[in-house]
Structure 1
Amino acid sequence: MATVEIVSFGFLHAAAPQADVVLDLRRAFRDPHVNPRMRQLTGRDRIVRRAVLGTPGIRQLLAATTRQVQAYASGPSADRIVIGSGCAGGRHRSVVVADQLARRLRRRGHTVTVTHRDIRRPVVQRHPAIHTDSRSS
């Protein structure tokens, strides 16, 4: 079985890591950053995790990505699969998705490592017009 490496990151800090699959969570999924109560938190905090996982479509994305990794792993030369999980700042959505994807893949027998590249970086100050989805939980 292939080893899976998952890297969460923020597009506003640096380029996406080299990966077989990059999940860009910026536009389609609710951003906890827009809620001042969650802004300084990370995807490791329960309130953030609930907000992200409560976003319509996120569980379907996790299921589809799990199937995609399974497909890559069934290839004849798949020994290592790298998944990038990116949001704007790398502290909220990308972290939750990376951790949840890792859980799903481990349950299916994969060896998984998770690196949260930007989780400890300062909160990115953004202009409100950048947000395409201003809904918050």
Structure 2
Amino acid sequence: MNFVIVTGLSGAGKSQTIRFLEDFGFFCIDNLPPALIPKFAEICYQTGGKIEKIAIVVDIRGREFFNDLFMALKSLQSMGYNYEILFLEAKDEILVKRYKETRRNHPLAYDGNIFEAIRKERLKLNEVKKQAKHIIDTSDLLPRQLREELERIFVSGENFESLVISVQSFGFKYGIPIDADIVFDVRFLPNPYYIEELKRFSGLEENIREYVLSSAEAKEFLEKVTDLFEFLIPNYIKEGKSRLVIAIGCTGGRHRSVVLASEVYKRLKDNGHTVLINHRDISKDVSGEVGK
């Protein structure tokens, strides 16, 4: 039996997740008091295989009932029932934005302070997060991408990598992305801006890609950073990191950084990692990069 307990931060996507799991054939219950989980599991197991996939959402909406979760998990273990925990999270500013867009109140925002409510919730959920088998950071995920991740885990049965990698291209003239974990400067590469017939194109187009990647330095850069990430990523996962932002910058964020970010994205994705791509500044200066 596939018995999944879905939990995590309010606003991180649990409602969407439960809808997607229903689409995948799961019998789903939202906001079940944790004390009832062992009895419900027992009922499901007694169906003799008629109910094979179950997902239960448990979170701080349960107020005082949520404190019974760890006792319920111990009961499941003592009864010999296997389960796995799916934990959803997102960055504070993303959660605040989602609450403002939906005009809903955070369950712990008694005084209207959402940031303080999120801080309290993170502390309350810290222990259950440590027990989670799957951790998904939905900060940069579109609903379609969240569905794809859930399908990989619970339908295809592929090995799940809890680290979501975001590769960004950017222009130094517009500032380094504030959420970047690792920043690369590729302004050492030849600049297509100085080729009259190329400067109006972007790094998404084949002529720019060919020009940038024709450089021996670009090829060597890609080999070295790919090797670096294949070393770093397993170690980040081992330490519990759930989100990695790789920023690759050139002057205007339109040519060189776009090509290199796209190539890094492709290599990481081909190696089985969960990767997103974002070209932050590609449309800011349509005339091309300025200077070196």
Within 5 Å, give how 1:93-108 maps onto structure 2. Answer: 93-108=256-271
Q: State the AA in 2 paired with 1:25.
A: V
Alignment partners' CA distance in 2, 1:13 and 1:117: 10
What is the CA deviation profile of residues 88-123 of structure 1, one whole-angstrom value per residue up to 9, with x for unaligned ones?
010000000011111100111001100000001123
The question of 1:5 aligning with 2:166 is answered: yes
**2:166 touches 2:244 (CA, 8 Å); kept in 1?**
yes
Alignment partners' CA distance in 2, 1:72 and 1:52: 26
The question of 1:59 aligning with 2:219 is answered: yes
Name the counterpart of 2:176.
15
Alignment partners' CA distance in 2, 1:38 and 1:51: 9
**Structure 1: gaps of 5 or more residues:** 132-137
Name the counterpart of 2:230.
70
**Structure 2: gaps of 5 or more residues:** 1-160
| TM-aligned CA deviation for residue 124 of structure 1 | 5.5
CA RMSD of aligned residues (A): 1.6
Name the counterpart of 2:282.
119
CA distance 1:46–1:125, change in 2 (3 Å) = closer
**1:73 touches 1:79 (CA, 8 Å); kept in 2?**
no
**1:42 touches 1:91 (CA, 8 Å); kept in 2?**
yes
Q: TM-score, normalized by length of structure 2? A: 0.41
CA distance 1:110–1:59, change in 2 (3 Å) = same
Alignment partners' CA distance in 2, 1:117 and 1:86: 10
Alignment partners' CA distance in 2, 1:95 and 1:124: 12
Name the counterpart of 2:272.
109
Within 5 Å, give how 1:21-60 maps onto structure 2. Answer: 21-26=182-187, 28-60=188-220
Q: Percent identity?
A: 31
Alignment partners' CA distance in 1, 2:182 and 2:289: 27
Q: TM-score, normalized by length of structure 1? A: 0.85
CA distance 1:4–1:125, change in 2 (3 Å) = closer
